[in-house]
Amino acid sequence: MHKYSDALSSISNKASLFETDQEMDGFLKEAISPLMEQSGASLGAIFGYDESTRELVLRAGYDSGDYWDSMRCGKNKMPLRFALDDSELGRAFRDDSVRIISYKEEDKSPFRTKILIPVVRGPEKLGVLMLAHQSPGAFSREDTADLRKAASLLGDMLAEATAFIVPAEKGASVPVPRSRVIRGLKASAGIAQGTALPVWSDIDSVADTIASSGSVDGEMELFEKALELSSSQLEKIQKSTSFTDTEMISLIFTAQLYMLKDNSFLEKMRKGIRDGRSAAASVREVIQSYADRFASMSEARLAEKAQDVRDLGYRILSNMARPDKAGFSYNDKIVLSRHIYPSDLFRLAVEGVAGVVLRGAGVTAHISILARSLSVPVLITDDKSLLNVPEGLPLLLDATSGKLYIRPDDKIRAAILDKEKRKLRTQGSYILKGHLSDGEPVSVHANINILKDAEDAKREGAEGIGLYRSEFPFILKNDFLSEEQQYRLYRSIVESQSGKPVTLRTADIGGDKLLQGRSEAESNPFLGVRGIRFSLANREMFHDQLRAMLRAGAGADLGIMFPMVSGVEELLQAREELEFCMKQLEERGDPFNARPRVGAMVELPSAAMAAGELAEYSDFLSIGSNDLTMYLLAVDRTNENLSHLYRSHHPTVLKVLASIMEEAGDKADQISVCGDIASDPLLVPVLVGMGIRKLSVAPSRVDAVKQRLMQFSLNEVEDISREILSIKRLDEMDRYMKSLQERYPLA
């Protein structure tokens, strides 16, 4: 029996006839009528999905035989909208599930039964069909199956004809409701409140807000005042003591200061004003000219200098737009953008940005890592309505929960900020050295990217630096750095630890950390010239880096580690280059560390299989579990569509880790783990049970890992490890992990 689907089939030929929104409403009315007639329902409605606002919108409905037009809109004459998380309607759509809701007499509902059926076409969700009946148990199992079929047929008809919600004409804006939530994915956790600062529009949008004085003298005065303010802002940033990474600040902001002191550059703007153009128009014209010139250069690293020029133009014009204030500032601003470069993110952090929301594709791994280092909350969303959030709108960003609140009310604001305060209050106690409950030592070190991380690590009680990702200054500068620049950066890291061991990893460039203009774009960068391959292919750069590291480590407990080593041959080549650099420094008479600990990263399956040989020719090994898991499971961890397949506790991954420990022999006690699993509370006891005695984690996780270690004795972790390694299937492993959490709940 297919009474519902047959009823819709009879009108399917009409779906191709309508072309306007009004004709769409007529078709929806005609589609609801036979469904209500067949079911005896007293209410029927169709809700369409508005992708731009992630809401369900009431398109058409009948109530007791009358067209529901009077109920379709709220008091503001706008169609009624329903959030996906706040109603049964939204949950039916979100979960793609038929929901039957029963009401009791005391519920005071005019209905006793309501059914909600998602309208879909393949993977595309179009809306929800709703029917309500005055009798209890009005819809049988057969009805449910046939209504599913009818809704699918409805979806086919509508998708072939047009979308449920007719999009706004090109250029028209999607209205942002007074208060709502935009959802997304966390790139960097944290809470931020402030006002919106959209930056997807170019400097034209700022220039258009600046009124002209109408006189050459007035425009010249406005320009010179903005110029002076811009210079003082940049100089203040350069001298700021609130952000201690002065070397990186210099690398990022010096170019703009030089531009502000370039007379030929500034004189072109002044000439435009003298020729009768407004100050804003003149600045815009010159900035665009220079930016276009850089952008057209064939060398990518120079082409990206266009961004420096545009950023400076944005600063000058923003200061013009605020002539009577202290000038433009990122303080208490939540920046909304389509894309961000690492240097942009660093610049925003230095200037006090509250948070960042990115519209569009996922963020590369190094942007997320850098954002966490800079303590900048970052959210990624595909919600189109973000594009219509105007400047100055009050926002509350809860990147930890993946939510951006538009015009949050006092209740929401208080609840989220109070949650953050409680989180800060419940930080664990400071423990100097990591150990198990029976005293067995397990040292906890820190993974860092910038000087701020190193300082955080020391404050959190890290027992040293287990991994310094030296490629981050290269990525931020988008170019190679000189030996002297690198020496100053590395020396600041070493000195920050006051004698604790520091392991500097040579640059891991390639994969998702492409150095524009210096590393070639490859069809499969994760299997291309990256890590130690890149360094060995760029010997001069490699020598500069090794000499800088050796000099920075003079008088310190220094480790130098090579990334993405595929086998012992690459390790031996890298060691030869290190010896060569030592001889150079000796000939130069420069002080340096003549006996650094030399190690290799185990991130590739081939390196895991050669762990014994690598251990023989190195002082230590460090397991990079993130990349090792990715290569073992053939899952790109930056691909959101495959994230559910990336499992650190996969039986294969854990067995490989155990085999590395076994192959290393008497060097096993010199093996550390520096990937995400080193701070995973469920896997920490497993690693220690395998014999790992050094973990390297994000500075913010140091104390939590030490606290977790104290929940286990040596016998317990060894038992857990044996049990884990006997498991062969992933579903069994999932169950074991759940039982482990129940036996040893998080503190």
Distance from C-alpha of 416 to C-alpha of 182, rounded to nearest angstrom: 15
The fold of 176-200+338-426 is: Glucose Oxidase; domain 1 (3.50.30)
**Residue 337 has what pLDDT?**
86
Tell me, what's the pLDDT at 414? 87
DSSP string, 142-210: HHHHHHHHHHHHHHHHHHHH--SSPPPPTTPPPPPPSSEEEE-EEEE--EEEEEEEE-SS-THHHHTTP
Instruction: For the chain, give every residue range classified as CATH 3.50.30.10.
Output: 176-200+338-426
Superfamily covering domain 3-161 = GAF domain (3.30.450.40)
Backbone angles phi, psi at 589, to 5 degrees: 80, 15
- In order of 5, 19, 35, 620, the CA distances from 413 in angstroms are 47, 44, 44, 49
**Burial class of residue 20 (count of CB atoms within 10 Å of its CB; 0-12, 13-18, 19+):** exposed
The number of helix segments (H) and strand segments (E) in the chain equals 28, 23
Maximum pairwise Cα distance, the chain: 96
Where does the chain hold its CATH 3.30.450.40 domain(s)?
Answer: 3-161
Lookup: tokens for 29: 């009315």
Tell me what pLDDT residue 25 has. Answer: 64
| Residue 499 in tokens | 């004698």
Contact 184, 379 (CB under 8 A): yes
Instruction: Return the closest-CA partner of residue 243 out of 350, 343, 342.
Output: 350
Which phi-psi region, left, alpha or beta, contains residue 392 (left: φ > 0; alpha: ψ -120 to 50)? Answer: left
Q: How far does the chain reach from its first CA to its final CA, in angstroms?
A: 57
Q: Is 47 left (phi over 0), alpha (psi -120 to 50) or beta?
A: beta
* Contact criterion met (CB below 8 Å) for 504 and 548: no
Distance CA 653, CA 658 (A): 9
- Check residue 177 and give its pLDDT: 47
**Cα 68 → chain centroid:** 44
Strand partners of residue 43 = 63, 132
Q: Can you tell me which residue has the tokens 């880790």? A: 657
Indicate the residue type of 60: A
Threshold 0.75, pTM exceeds: no
User: pLDDT over 70 for what percent of the chain?
Assistant: 80
Query: Which DSSP string corresponds to 475-510?
Result: HHHTS---HHHHHHHHHHHHHHTTTS-EEEEPP--B
With residue 340 as reference, give the H or E element that holds it: none
As given in the structure block, the two tokens for residue 106 are 């005391």
Q: Which CATH number fits domain 443-743: 3.20.20.60, 2.40.30.10, 1.10.357.10, 1.20.1070.10?
A: 3.20.20.60
The radius of gyration of the chain from alpha carbons, rounded to an integer in Å, stands at 31
Q: What is the reported pLDDT for 391?
A: 82
Question: Which DSSP letter does residue 441 get?
Answer: B
pLDDT at 426: 43
Please provide residue 656's backbone torsions phi and psi, each rounded to the nearest 5 degrees. Answer: -65, -40
Which pLDDT value is given to residue 111? 80
Domain 203-329, CATH homologous superfamily name and number: PtsI, HPr-binding domain (1.10.274.10)
Which residue in the block uniquely carries the two structure tokens 């000796």?
A: 586
Sheet with 378-381, edge to edge strand ranges: 180-183, 403-406, 394-398, 191-198, 333-337, 355-359, 378-381, 185-188
Query: For the chain, which residues score pLDDT lower than 70?
Result: 1, 9-26, 51-53, 63-79, 85-86, 107-108, 122-123, 156-179, 200-205, 240-244, 298-304, 323-327, 361-366, 420-431, 510-529, 636-644, 747
Query: Which residues make beta-bridge pairs with 198?
Result: 336
Coil, strand, or helix at residue 109? Answer: coil
- Per 3-state DSSP, the chain is made up of helix, strand and coil in percentages (nearest 5) of 50, 15, 35
The size of the chain, in residues, is 747
The tokens describing 444, both together, are 């906890």
Q: How far apart are CA 99 and CA 81, in angstroms?
A: 19
Centroid of chain to Cα 182: 15
Using CA atoms, how far residue 78 sits from 85, 163, 177, in Å, is 20, 19, 11
**Which of these, 577, 621, 570, lies nearest to 598 by C-alpha position?**
621
Phi, psi of 389 (to 5 degrees): -75, 120
SS3 664: helix
DSSP bridge partners of 100: 115
* 3-state SS assignment for residue 655: helix
Q: Which of 322, 289, 328 is nearest to 222 (CA)?
A: 322
Q: How far apart are CA 108 and CA 596, in angstroms?
A: 78
* Tokens 């981050």, residue located: 472
pLDDT tens digits, 54-98: 778 887 777 664 444 444 444 444 567 777 766 788 888 888 888
Provide the pLDDT for residue 503.
Answer: 98
DSSP tag of 465: E
Q: Which are the contacts of 650, defined by CB distance < 8 A and separation ≥ 6?
A: 629, 632, 633, 730, 733
Which residue in 68, 637, 16, 652 sits closest to 369, CA to CA?
637
